[in-house]
Amino acid sequence: MKKFTKIMSLLLAGTMLLGAAGCGNAATEGENEGSAADSAAVTTVQEGKLIWGTNAAFEPYEYMEGDTVVGIDAEIADAIAAKLGLEAQVENMDFDAIVPAVTSGKVDIGIAGMTVDEKRLKNVNFSDTYVEAGQAIIVKEDSDIKSSADLNGKIVGVQRGTTGDEYVSDEANGVSVASVERYANGPDAAQSLLAGKIDAVVIDNEPAKKIVDNATGLVKLEENLTSEQYAIAVSKENTELLDAINGALKEMQESGELQAILDKYLNK
């Protein structure tokens, strides 16, 4: 009887191990043991899903292609979800709704080219950073604005609630603009710039390049106004998920997968 119990419990343990390994999407023998263990440990808002909040008007990080959210962050979200044995599901919303969505449990995480900053850190945790970025200035080709100093006394457009908004709204940063116009997204601000309603747009560097590429008559100035790091926002209450995400990011960094995603969208 004792022997029988022992065999049963061994069998049971074996089954549980197999079950756990089965959760990791890419769980081939011996590989990804860490991920399989992580997926067994994480709890998410909806079982089996990794719901990520974003604002998909921020090419090349996230933007719409038909009905689909594509871009660097979309690929990172899919890759992390796969490593955790979860199905990625995106929720597209206003940028300034993302942190509240994470804290209220509407979404598991925010991936939105989101800069780690002091204010946000009061409400959410951030993963390890995955990209370096900074703010840039977009003006019309014939503009007399040639540098950040020339923003003084000008009407500047930004995406509401972004670090670009913070930068131009705070005179401590060395700029004293006439007024800040806040838009739902960068492309809307660029439309307004083209229409002559504002003098410049301040937005993250790579999205600035895309906006200029997608329009006629706009240029991006060389100057970088800030130095920022993007990371994934996670609820302060779900530290297991934070650890699992950092584990997945680390794997992606080490395997070159992260760099491959960045190369696909940047520098071209």
3-state secondary structure of 154: coil
Of 114, 201, 211, 244, the one binding ligand ARG (CB under 6 A) is 114
Question: Binders of ligand ARG among 191-230, rule CB under 6 A?
Answer: 204
Question: Binders of ligand ARG among 56-75, rule CB under 6 A?
Answer: 57-58, 61-62
Q: How many residues bind ligand ARG (CB under 6 A)?
A: 15
Contacts of 83 (CB under 8 A, 6+ apart): 24, 25, 26, 32, 35, 38, 39, 247, 248, 251, 252
For residue 127, state whether it binds ligand ARG (rule: CB under 6 A): no
Cα gap 158→169, rounded to integer Å = 10
Cα gap 4→72, rounded to integer Å = 53
For residue 32, state whether it binds ligand ARG (rule: CB under 6 A): no
Cα-based angle 51, 228, 76 (whole degrees, multiple of 5): 30
For residue 54, state whether it binds ligand ARG (rule: CB under 6 A): yes
Do the beta carbons of residue 130 and residue 76 sit within 8 Å?
yes
- Which is nearer to ligand ARG, 39 or 135 (by Cβ)? 135
Do the beta carbons of residue 127 and residue 245 sit within 8 Å?
yes
Cβ 37 to ligand ARG shortest distance, Å: 31
Cα gap 114→28, rounded to integer Å = 33
Which residue is associated with the tokens 């116009």? 181
Of 32, 163, 235, 238, the one binding ligand ARG (CB under 6 A) is 163
230-252 burial, b at 16+ Cβ within 10 Å, e below that, comes to: bbbbbbeebeebbebbbbbbebb
Cβ 163 to ligand ARG shortest distance, Å: 4
Cβ 14 to ligand ARG shortest distance, Å: 45
For residue 148, state whether it binds ligand ARG (rule: CB under 6 A): no
- Which is nearer to ligand ARG, 36 or 63 (by Cβ)? 63
For residue 95, state whether it binds ligand ARG (rule: CB under 6 A): yes
Of 125, 162, 235, 246, the one binding ligand ARG (CB under 6 A) is 162
Cβ 13 to ligand ARG shortest distance, Å: 45
Amino acid symbol at 65: E
Contact window for ligand ARG (CB under 6 A) among 42-50, 52-60, 150-158, 242-250? 52-60
**Interface positions with ligand ARG (CB under 6 A):** 54-55, 57-58, 61-62, 95, 112-115, 159, 162-163, 204
